[in-house]
Amino acid sequence: MNILRLLQGGPPASRRFLFAITSFTGLGNAGLIGLINQAAEQSLLGAKVGAQLLIVYALTLAFFLVSNRTSLHQANRYVQQRLEATRRRIVTKIRRADLRTLERLGQGDIYITVAQETDHLSQTLPLLIGAAQSAFVLVFLLLYIATLSLISFAVVAGVTALGLSIFVIRQRALTASLAAVHYREAEMLDSLSHFTLGFQEIRLNADRNDGLFAHFSEVADRLKDEVIAIGGRWVALLQFSNAFIFLLVGVVVFVLPAFFAGYTDTIYKITAASVFAIGPVAAITSVVRLIGRAEAGLGHVYALEEKLDENAPGAAEKKPRERSPFRDFQTIELAGTTFRYVDGAGLTTFTAGPLDFTLRRGETVFMTGGNGSGKSTALKLICGLYRPDGGRILCDGTEIDSSNRQQYREIFSGVFTDFHLFDRLYGIDADPEDVARLIARMELSDKVDFAKGRFSTSDLSTGQRKRLAMIVALLEDREVYLFDEWAADQDAHFREVFYGEMLADFKARGKTVVAVTHDDHYWDRCDRRVALDLGMITSGEGV
């Protein structure tokens, strides 16, 4: 059970304390029921209910209230700590994952699972402690019945065990259906996102708009049907629990007296104890849906974690960063390096390489080729974002493997086609004056401000966003710069700045540059050009 797996992970002392305090609550609750029974019996026999019983009752009530309160507080604290630890663990795995693993998982799944599911769990799991308390009450009630009549205990325990087994089987079916709803919800969200992301396109084409809406309605309809079916299962489970408890009381009141002599003396107390069980049983069944939802939610969290674990880099790659020993490199060599994109069915969709290529310190290399020829893939291989499937990458003769790959990555910076602008300069201790100078150099002074480690920007065009990404890359001050069609979104003036001034600046500062470009009239601005086709280097001067 996923909930147990989550709860088991915490500090043993807190777990034991939670277990103990919750069982005390159940004990207090059952004690109160026993005392009520005793007082009622005395009244029935015409005896006066003594002050002693009243005091014991008041003390038991105080014990119950204190342990109940402590149990709920402790459960909330414990669950939030467990969820926080799970969130941290998953984010740690994400930040250490392979780029390919993350590309395969997709952002939507990660976001929904880490943010939405854990948030939902943080609200529902503490509520389940009420059900746990009720479970303890039931256990103590059974023990109480055992003190009254062993035969009744055996019958009631037997019927309860049978009822519980049926309940658990049905509850599992409900959990499985809830897991299926998760995928339907994701499908619905996906369909919904087309309305906002593709708003311009659907407003220009009414037929597309209608087609998308028809698809959305279909998906939403399927989700509704699934949720209604789950509602039906839940109602059936609820009805079963109600029927079960009255069946139990019926057995105690009508069946047992017919079979056992002397039973009539205790029938009153056992009946009362059975009736008191109605509350706890109702409390447990009322959270069944929540348990199912929490089980399914945690199932997704653990499934995501397993996918992240499948391709996790070796432990050596997780080492904290030191100053990279590769910063003074002279050559980077790709020797027969290959890389494959593999789809969900395990089929290779594209192969890059074998690539044989040497990059020397300080040179400016242009990478050219048609769409889909593998230029971006080659860049990600060169900088160690993709692990080669075959061949080797050597830096000054040292092979790059999982023990040094992170240190190797630390000599690279750049702007990829799918670059991301962070909200602040994480991990870069930049002098605000340098930043201001670069903002002016990129002609963004009227658009971008920098204060307290953060950029504040008004709406930027794609070209302007790329210029801001360039500022961040320059502030990183790395040895090798990779640019994937950086100039493609710049105007003629800024293209000239890039090819005419910036590349010369990089060279003057001894930086190595590999730039993917389609701008053939600037091809003379590099030391050499490497052309790719179908993932292979087809020509290159001095390769």
Ligand X SMILES: Nc1ncnc2c1ncn2[C@@H]1O[C@H](COP(=O)(O)OP(=O)(O)OP(=O)(O)O)[C@@H](O)[C@H]1O
Binding site for ligand X (CB under 6 A): 103, 341, 349-350, 369, 371-377
Based on CB atoms, which residue is closest to ligand X, 106 or 500?
A: 106
Retrieve residue 503's tokens: 């590349």
In the complex with ligand X, the residue whose CB is nearer, 213 or 350, is 350
Give the torsion sign (CA, 33, 35, 38, 44): negative
Nearer residue to ligand X within complex by CB, 66 or 342: 342
Please identify, using beta-carbon distances, which residue of 113 and 373 lies nearer to ligand X: 373
Shortest Cβ distance from residue 526 to ligand X (Å)?
Answer: 17
> Nearest distance from residue 377's CB to ligand X, in Å?
3
Considering the complex, what minimum distance in angstroms separates the CB of residue 380 from ligand X?
8
- What DSSP assignment string belongs to 123-190? HHGGGHHHHHHHHHHHHHHHHHHHHH-HHHHHHHHHHHHHHHHHHHHHHHHHHHHHHHHHHHHHHHHH
Q: Which tokens is 441 given?
A: 């150099």
Nearest-angstrom CA–CA distance, 231 and 174 = 9
Q: Quick one: CA dihedral 354, 356, 359, 364, positive or negative?
A: negative
> In terms of CB distance, is 377 or 490 closer to ligand X?
377
Cα distances (Å, whole numbers) of residue 79 to 9, 71, 128, 284, 349: 10, 12, 10, 19, 44
Residue whose C-alpha is closest to residue 524's, from 502, 505, 499: 499
CB of 333 to ligand X, least distance (A): 20
Q: How far is the CB of 130 from ligand X (least distance, A)?
A: 47
Tokens of 117: 């599911």
Shortest Å distance, C-beta 198 to ligand X: 21
Please, which residue, 163 or 369, has the CB nearer to ligand X? 369
Nearest-approach distance from CB 81 to ligand X, in angstroms? 37
212 or 385, CB closer to ligand X?
385
Least CB distance to ligand X at residue 523 (A): 16
Cα–Cα–Cα angle for 496, 462, 199, rounded to 5 degrees: 150
Give the sheet arrangement for strand 390-395, strand by strand: 348-360, 331-342, 390-395, 398-399
Question: Cβ 174 to ligand X, closest distance in Å?
Answer: 37
Residue 118: how many CB atoms within 10 A of its CB? 18
Can you spell out the DSSP letters for 48-84? PPPHHHHHHHHHHHHHHHHHHHHHHHHHHHHHHHHHH
Tell me the backbone φ, ψ of residue 279, rounded to 5 degrees. -60, -55
Tell me how far, at minimum, the Cβ of 518 lies from ligand X, in Å.
Answer: 7
The string over 283-294, giving b where at least 16 C-beta atoms fall within 10 Å of a residue's C-beta and e elsewhere, is bbbebbbbbbbb
Helix pair 150-197, 264-276: axis angle to 10 deg: 10
Specify the residue, 268 or 350, whose C-beta has the smaller distance to ligand X: 350
C-beta separation of 363 from 74 below 8 A: no
Instruction: Give whichever of 63 and 341 is closer to ligand X, judged by the CB atom.
Output: 341
Nearer residue to ligand X within complex by CB, 299 or 369: 369
CB of 116 to ligand X, least distance (A): 25
CB atoms within 10 A of CB 88: 10
Question: CB neighbours of 85 closer than 8 A, spacing ≥ 6?
Answer: 9, 10
Of the pair 1, 534, the CB lying nearest ligand X is at: 534
Residue number with CB closer to ligand X (297 or 369): 369
Quote the tokens at residue 271: 């009946």
Residues 6+ away with beta carbon under 8 Å from 125: 3, 6, 79, 83, 294
| Residue 519 beta carbon to ligand X: minimum distance, rounded to whole angstroms | 13
